[in-house]
Amino acid sequence: MKITSLLQPELIKLELTSATKQGAIDELIDVLNVNERLHDVEKFRTAILAREAICSTGIGKGIAIPHSRDESIREVSIALGRSREGIDFQALDNGNVHLILLLAAPMSAGGVYLQALARLSRVLRNPQNRQKIMEADAEQLIIDILGGAD
């Protein structure tokens, strides 16, 4: 399983318009919905927000990986959003988040879901990868960066 098999150009939002955690999550849920990755938008939104209520998925270094497995999801997918200004995501390091990777998976995709979480964390720990993604001016370039690092 490669990250690039779960992330297509149409699932990338180069500049999030929201300045809030919930707004940014909503934008990425809308990206998944418009691209027909969800059976039930509200059910998925509830699942993501319930996960965030347990503990923020802002893992530090400007990254958040909100995630959920739920029956409301058609196929394992990643929606990526970028915020140059940063969003208060209640991250573990108390810093603003600039890259949000929303991971959605059906209940039956436990193995792929866990692999995707691990790979995203590993690739995004590298400061050069984060910097390249922040500087990318096209969706396909972001996919190429993630593919090269995966």
- What does residue 56 show for φ and ψ, rounded to 5 degrees? -60, 140
Q: Tell me, what's the pLDDT at 79? A: 98
Count of domains for the chain: 1
What's the rounded Cα separation, in Å, for the pair 56 and 15? Answer: 21
Residue 28, pLDDT > 70, answer yes
Please tell me the distance from the alpha carbon of residue 103 to that of residue 51, in angstroms, as a whole number: 12
User: For residues 134, 140, 146 and 150, what is the CA-based torsion angle, rounded to 10 degrees?
Assistant: -170
pTM as predicted: 0.94
Q: What pLDDT is attached to residue 66?
A: 96
Domain that holds residue 33: 3-149
pLDDT in tens, 51-68: 999 999 999 999 999 999
For residue 150, the model assigns a pLDDT of 66
* Catalytically annotated residues: 67
7-18 per-position pLDDT tens digit: 999 999 999 999
Q: Are 99 and 24 in contact (CB under 8 A)?
A: no
Give the CATH number for residue 66. Answer: 3.40.930.10
pLDDT confidence band for 128 (50 / 70 / 90): very high
pLDDT at 113: 87
**pLDDT computed for residue 6 by the predictor:** 92
Average pLDDT over residues 34-39: 96
Contact 89, 60 (CB under 8 A): no
Q: How many whole angstroms separate alpha carbon 87 and alpha carbon 89?
A: 6
In the prediction, which pLDDT does 96 show? 97
CB contact at 8 A, 116 and 66: no
